[in-house]
Structure 1
């Protein structure tokens, strides 16, 4: 079976090959500044090896979705799936040996990183009988394995670093061959870069990146400057799957292209200045107001989430084995009443939201048992949602308002439900801003930065609309609530 592909040609015009069997065992690191031809190289490699090996592409910019136009690749839209669905899809990818492109351009940066980490982690954790050989190509790898912490949360960084380290360090025994591509070697975690034995180094201009590239290629530092002079589409290659000595390679042509290409020149518009001014300003107010589309408060709730609306909305009806009794015959509190009162007590404790969900749930069950309720009938996910309702004080609203709030929040993830309900309650009541400390207490944090990231996340989900103000403040609006007051945040 043929195991070599032609990646390009050297300076003499001789074809340069990559041994795919060797690449599967030794991994590959690609580096090049923006515009150096890094994506073109990856596309050439993927196209030429598409018939030889399964391919999994982590694509943060949507550059590689066009592979599906010519090859058997399946495009998975990361923004269209839940965490559980992403993990199940990854397991099925390994089971059925499907070549896929995980397109992440519909997500913000932190969501991209979490989605990719969960997908790679599920690939890595596949059962032993599904350890088939596969290339796992990670473009813009400095996002997923950063050398230092950035704007993302520490939890997200740990999740992503663990997935990338497993891929590059332990993936070989599971059939996974990591190919990581980065614009900056200095921004890529060293323990991820160090696991590659094959290198393709493109044009770069910063001294620190040139020196690291020269070290990896086994070149003297005084030779590093030739990396700066490389033409677009040319790379210095080294490694057991490519060549035993550094070799200049010009990457060959590709059969597919990026979905969009804004790098070339095109004619400017011919509109006169007054016509262009009219185009920019006509109906400006209408378009600004359209940025906050109305959401129907009566939209159907997904069946899978209907059980989360509120299991304590109504007391359980008496069964045939338990005849109904009048209040005069039985004055003891029901298990329903005990559970609701226990939730109120937990919500009233300011320290509760700063505890883990598992600790709170165990405390809730213990308190219920001590009060005589031994069969609450609530799992931890339901408890988290009910606790969020209690924290936000939704039971103080009118019954119609309670139903509306719970319906609007039915599809919201439980870990962000409490602060969202606080915002929603303020909007329903037509009040001013919930205090920043109130949001922080509901979210279980003392960090203003986490609250800002939370609000940005809520906007990404379409739950709120944020209008930035030049004075540094923000205005929050809740779609689907007519006439609600705007929520001001610093």
Structure 2
């Protein structure tokens, strides 16, 4: 059975239709600048196809929750754990329910993680549940960015992987992806390249117009037409739309989003004196502003003790009979086990913190009550291979001095201090960078310069080119056994002549 979805009218006045069965076998990409009518187009397409096919809408702004009242879509609040979202998605495919995943109010990184868990749940179901389903993703550049932005690498990787699976491997599982983006340049190429149907709206940047023209098989000189398109007008191409580029105008919709095109409205007729009173005087219905509590600076040692001395995460009525030393030893074991992985030194601190909490629960410690600041300091020391415990007053003085450094640098400083105190070789740039959590040896040189400028250490080079680090305020110093500083050929020849050797000796 062929189902024709009415999108609107073409430039010639004929109905602009989309073959729903062909769309399920292919995929759709919608592109247009903000205000071009992308959301209106998605709303029209989803409204017209709602009676015929199961739908899931990934909604970052909460604009499609109105589908619940008109078409019976179930609104899924994304403020859940990843495991919950995955199980909900699997039940959605099992019972063939149309849903709206509402991501409104969540941070960008959390939105990416929630969308990834939801899409993976739809993707990873039993073969018997591979029913046809439209998956519409509004503002797809948020979930499949072309380049790394302000979000963490871990969130970007899982979200991009889920979107790539949807567009590349979803067809065999009955999933037909519909992605809408403001700019093609912002969308990952692996996601955009899998679309076979295109609806291109108004855009102004030359690079976006050129890419849109290439996708539609148009001449580069015709790319200027995308700049002149009115809101709600698109150029359609694809097996489910048209074999040649056709301008269409999207028809009206039955539902409305929370936001729309801004309209002008007159300002209130209030005098300047009244406005001043309204702005600077609290209203009777406003709650009083809370007074911020004074913040007490907590020493690093005290924060470390909080991490190491967590009690049992026991059931009500149970008591932890282990001593503080036993609990401290368990925490030490947890950090040692976590950092045994070579890649752990370079993983983001929030990810390691979640692993730490899991280990604490397994050992029935109250890891969930450990604040992030204490964990960061303890992790910095563990990465550097030093302990907060000291055998003498000099080490305690060094620990106190370390508190004046940024928390992520304290472990590096104590690592140098321990090597200098024990007479060991000075750590090289790679070891310092790893203790800091970086792959780049230049980060190690930066750390030495930073601490030297602020009077924590002195870093010099001896005549053999070895680094010599002295811990200020102590007699401790360590030397780096390494290759001597490389000299240029002319200098080597001068040294040979002064020594009475042959002029060409190098």
Residue 57 of structure 2 corresponds to residue 57 of structure 1? yes
Residue 119 of structure 2 corresponds to residue 120 of structure 1? yes
Q: Which has the higher contact order (CA 8 A, sep 6+)?
A: 1
Matching residue of 2:322: 337
After TM superposition, list the pairs within 5 Å mapping 1:65-214 onto structure 2.
65-79=65-79, 81-214=80-213
- Tell me if the contact between 2:83 and 2:117 (Cα under 8 Å) persists in the aligned partners: no
Matching residue of 1:437: 407
Q: 1:266 to 1:434 in 2, by over 3 A?
A: farther
User: Which string of whole-angstrom CA distances, capped at 9 and with x for unpartnered residues, describes residues 461-487 of structure 1?
Assistant: xxxxxxxxxxxxxxxxxxxxxxxxxxx
For residue 102 of structure 1, give the secondary structure of its aligned residue in structure 2: strand
For residue 289 of structure 1, give the secondary structure of its aligned residue in structure 2: coil
Runs of 4+ more than 3 Å apart? 290-293, 307-316, 340-343, 346-354, 356-360, 378-381, 420-423, 433-436, 438-441, 444-448
Deviation at 1:82, TM superposition (A): 2.2
Distance in structure 2 (CA, Å) of the matches to 1:9 and 1:153 = 43
TM-score, normalised to structure 1, is: 0.66
Matching residue of 1:370: none
Q: 1:23 to 1:59 in 2, by over 3 A?
A: same
Deviation at 1:228, TM superposition (A): 0.7
Distance in structure 2 (CA, Å) of the matches to 1:158 and 1:75 = 26
Superposition CA RMSD, Å: 3.6
Deviation at 1:276, TM superposition (A): 1.5
Distance in structure 2 (CA, Å) of the matches to 1:64 and 1:23 = 21
Query: How many residue pairs align between the two structures?
Result: 360
Matching residue of 2:253: 254
Larger Rg: 2
Residue 367 of structure 2 corresponds to residue 419 of structure 1? no
Distance in structure 1 (CA, Å) of the matches to 2:236 and 2:129 = 32
After TM superposition, list the pairs within 5 Å mapping 1:456-471 onto structure 2.
none
Unpaired runs of 5+ residues, structure 2, are 294-310, 345-356, 377-402, 412-433, 439-506
For residue 40 of structure 1, give the secondary structure of its aligned residue in structure 2: helix
User: Which string of whole-angstrom CA distances, capped at 9 and with x for unpartnered residues, describes residues 286-313 of structure 1?
Assistant: 76735989xxxxxxxxxxxxx9844699
Distance in structure 2 (CA, Å) of the matches to 1:345 and 1:359 = 23
- Tell me if the contact between 1:19 and 1:242 (Cα under 8 Å) persists in the aligned partners: yes
Q: 1:272 to 1:309 in 2, by over 3 A?
A: farther
- Tell me if the contact between 1:422 and 1:439 (Cα under 8 Å) persists in the aligned partners: no
TM-score, normalised to structure 2, is: 0.64
Q: 1:359 to 1:29 in 2, by over 3 A?
A: closer
Deviation at 1:127, TM superposition (A): 1.4
User: Which string of whole-angstrom CA distances, capped at 9 and with x for unpartnered residues, describes residues 18-55 of structure 1?
Assistant: 00000001100000000000000000000000001000
Matching residue of 1:347: 331
